Structure 1
Amino acid sequence: MVTCKETRAVIIALHKKGFTGKDIAASKIAPKSTIYRIIKNFKESGSIVVKKASGRPRKSSKRQDRLLKLIQLRDRGTTSTELAQEWQQAGVSASARTVRRRLLEDGLVSRRAAKKPLLSRKNIRDRLIFCKRYRDWTAEDWGKVIFSDESPFRLFGASGKKLVRRRQGERYHQSCVMPTVKHPETIHVWGCFSAKGVGSLTILPKNTAMNKEWYQHIFRAQLLPTIQEQFGDEQCLFQHDGAPCHKAKVITKWLG
């Protein structure tokens, strides 16, 4: 219980006048246990001021804390155990738990790394050029574009992690495992869309990857009918990415 300074002063004043703890408690000025504690502290220290406990001293200085932060920022993937070892070389003997607390004080929280495609310098440059070229386009301009892309899909199992809830000893229970095969069959799917809606969808034969021959076939059998259906005689633009089969000479010539 927190007792204000004025209350403590009154209790000590009554104590000095000869009142017992029991007498003071009868006035309901504070709980009996609090009154006895205040009188005891006064007898030991001679003061009504309650000193704050010093607590356990920190194992590191502010300078050492800044060093730890710099080490972590230099390599975000360094674990707290590895950081504790590096910190020890700087003269700080601390556990991995202490390392985590210090980093939390600086707002550095451990999280699973986000995934994103690896971009080369050329990728970055080309994307920037594309953005600058079309940054002034309106929704009406983009409404005249038809986009296409293809993607592989595994026919067996999931390509990522699967979470299950299980009890102790159920690690290999039939309902808690995810079956896998060494070489799962894969299909490649091509599709297109525009602001007017989705277009055709083509599924290539199993374990057949997209190449320039298939791409040219899809143009004739799927892309042109979709353009005719969505745009009719209106002019439109076709947009695809820079996959190798998209840049083949026969494809570039056909699009030209």
Structure 2
Amino acid sequence: MDKGRSLFERELLAKRVMEFYNTTANRDSKVTWNFFKQEGIPSSNVYSYIKKFKDSENVQFKKPAGRPAKLATTRVKNRIEKIFKTKPSTSVAVAARKVKISKSYLGEIKVHKLGIKARTKKPAPNYKPVQESRIKDCCQKLLKKMRGKVVILDDETYVPVDPSNLPGRHFFHSSDPSEVAYEEKVRKKDKFPKKYCIWQCISSHGHVSDPVVLEGNINQDIYLKNCVKAGLEAFINRFHKNDKVLFWPDLATCHYAKKVTEYLRKKNIDFVPKDINPPNVPQLRPIEKFWARSKSVYSRLQDVPDTFRKFKGRWKKITSEVAKTSGKNLMKNLRKKIELVANGGVAALAIN
């Protein structure tokens, strides 16, 4: 029972089980088990906690037998806990110097005794208070405009022809690096790699358009002709002909050029007005993650497409597969995220 859990984690779980058993489940063991079964907690754990603590007011495990801790004393644990509660960004090395114990032992106390784990910080733009206020206001208006509509996002990205020029970590494996050839130990990268500009759109149903691949940059004329007329309209007719759609472009200048917005109105394609389009919030646009996943797949290609046609074919195949496996998942929380920002500002995205 409880294999792999520390004493702290066992007590925490037991307290949750007993609180649910005594309140929500009205002291019904089966109801309690069915609830915790969803978290993957074994039935033996749940029933043993109930048997052990059902007549007890205090849920507490006996300390294991053995010699008393010399370094992991209550005082030391309290100091470590206070350090990370006061400033969660404190490094293990700095905390270890303050407490005057080794980094490895502090790490063991932090994780196994206190249940404090290191978590990755999410990247986010450095907003000014005025920007945060505007983003919140825009999201409130955007939510109202989205009601009852399929949302379509579009974006452009640049992809190098040679997959090895994409950012990311690469590895080689060897017991003795000196025996490995130079070509296997380095990752060669061109200073000015050849790139293609790619436009695509994705809907809140998880559908993705065919890519528009260009050899140069996008201006308003190219965007209108290749992306809106040839790409967006074909996408709507293929997947959302009978749906009410809301087109949500990013704030690139060419996306809101006069000739572009006039054409969208002429074709009765509802779009997000520039004044309610939240600025500089990539966290709200799942198409950014779609690009990242597609590039990750492309980076694993062993051979370089040697023609424009081959590159376009490869990219189309990759993005179609990513859309099938991840499209719906990427888009399912779109409204929820916008609602979070509308109610709590951009900081709410980091909390959830």
TM range (shorter): 0.5 to 0.7
- Given the superposition, is the C-alpha separation of residues 172 and 84 from structure 1 closer, same or farther in structure 2, using an over 3 Å criterion? farther
Larger radius of gyration: 1
Q: Does 1:66 align with 2:78?
A: yes
Report the equivalent of 1:18: none
Report the equivalent of 1:213: 221
What amino acid is the match of 1:95? Answer: S
Equivalent position to 2:231, from 222, 226, 242: 222
Which residues of 2 match residues 60-209 of structure 1 at below 5 A?
60-62=73-75, 64-85=76-97, 87=98, 92-104=99-111, 105-111=113-119, 113=120, 115-118=122-125, 120=127, 121=132, 124-125=135-136, 128-129=139-140, 132-133=143-144, 137=148, 141-142=149-150, 145-156=151-162, 157=164, 158-170=166-178, 173-194=182-203, 195=205, 198-205=208-215, 208-209=216-217
Structure with bigger helix share is: 2
Distance in 2 (CA, whole Å) between partners of 1:216 and 1:114 is: 38
Q: Which moved more, 1:194-203 or 1:75-84?
A: 194-203
Offset of residue 73 of structure 1 = 3.7
What amino acid is the match of 2:105? Answer: T
- Given the superposition, is the C-alpha separation of residues 167 and 160 from structure 1 closer, same or farther in structure 2, using an over 3 Å criterion? same
**CA distances 1:69-105 after superposition (whole Å, capped 9, x unpaired):** 23224444432211122x2xxxx42221232122112
Offset of residue 115 of structure 1 = 4.2
Q: Describe the SS at the equivalent of 1:215.
A: helix
Distance in 2 (CA, whole Å) between partners of 1:220 and 1:110 is: 48
**CA distances 1:89-125 after superposition (whole Å, capped 9, x unpaired):** xxx42221232122112111235x2544437325751
Q: Does 1:246 align with 2:260?
A: no
CA contact (8 A) 1:211 1:245 kept: yes
**CA distances 1:215-254 after superposition (whole Å, capped 9, x unpaired):** 2222233333444455668764423233343234443344
Distance in 1 (CA, whole Å) between partners of 2:139 and 2:157 is: 24
Structure 1: which 5+ runs fail to align?
1-51
CA contact (8 A) 2:146 2:246 kept: no
Distance in 2 (CA, whole Å) between partners of 1:118 and 1:251 is: 28
The CA RMSD measured in Å over matched residues stands at: 3.5
TM-score normalized by the length of structure 2: 0.44
Structure with the larger RCO, 1 or 2 (CA within 8 Å, 6+ apart): 2
CA contact (8 A) 2:72 2:109 kept: no
What amino acid is the match of 2:95? Answer: L
- Given the superposition, is the C-alpha separation of residues 130 and 242 from structure 1 closer, same or farther in structure 2, using an over 3 Å criterion? farther
TM-score normalized by the length of structure 1: 0.58
CA contact (8 A) 1:200 1:223 kept: no
Q: Does 1:57 align with 2:70?
A: yes
What amino acid is the match of 2:84? Answer: Q
Q: Describe the SS at the equivalent of 1:148.
A: strand
Offset of residue 57 of structure 1 = 2.0
Distance in 2 (CA, whole Å) between partners of 1:98 and 1:152 is: 46
Distance in 1 (CA, whole Å) between partners of 2:72 and 2:185 is: 45
- Given the superposition, is the C-alpha separation of residues 99 and 203 from structure 1 closer, same or farther in structure 2, using an over 3 Å criterion? same
CA contact (8 A) 2:200 2:211 kept: yes
- Given the superposition, is the C-alpha separation of residues 70 and 253 from structure 1 closer, same or farther in structure 2, using an over 3 Å criterion? farther
Report the equivalent of 2:342: none
% identical equivalent positions: 20
Distance in 2 (CA, whole Å) between partners of 1:173 and 1:150 is: 36
Q: Describe the SS at the equivalent of 1:81.
A: helix
Distance in 1 (CA, whole Å) between partners of 2:156 and 2:213 is: 10
CA contact (8 A) 1:59 1:93 kept: no
CA contact (8 A) 2:161 2:195 kept: yes
